Amino acid sequence: MSDTRTRLLDDIKSAMKNGEKTRLATLRSISAAAKQKEVDERIEVDDEAMLLILDKLLKQRRESIAQYEKAGRTDLADVEIAEAAIIQEYLPEALSDEDIAGIVEKAIADSGAASIKDMGKVMGLVKPQMQGRADMGKVSGLIKSKLSA
């Protein structure tokens, strides 16, 4: 079992003992997503797969937050924000804007990308370095703006 998964199970026990309902529900949803991946793909989830699961769950929360805020439902957005913060605890430290820009610049140079048609090449280089450490939607926007200029 991966280190992240072990930590997650320990934290679930701790949240149960301390009566932290929101935290417990969020941790259980992470655990369920990992278990679902194991069942669907007949694999054991390692730390790398766990990172992808966490990144996906965080992206879902961000999208929900945007939708709820757009609809004026701050009560629901607040719940999603709390869950996103809990998920974030299991991801590596986020990259700074300068680090992201540096990685994107290097990927553009390394791939020889010249236009927006080369976006896939650049994303292929940056995604493994940034997975779970940056909002890939923002990264995609940055790459588009650099290749369109």
Tens digits of residue pLDDT in 83-108: 999 999 998 888 888 989 899 998 88
pTM of the predicted model over 0.75: yes
Same domain, 22 and 83: yes
What the block records as the tokens of 146 is: 């650099």
Same domain, 16 and 74: yes
31 pLDDT tier (thresholds 50, 70, 90) = very high
Q: What is the pLDDT of residue 117?
A: 86
Range of the domain at 127: 97-148
Q: What is the pLDDT of residue 92?
A: 86
Which ranges in the chain belong to alpha helices (H)? 3-18, 21-41, 47-70, 74-88, 97-111, 119-130, 136-148
Same domain, 64 and 82: yes
| Domain CATH for 65 | 1.10.1510.10
Angle between helices 119-130 and 136-148 (to 10 degrees): 150
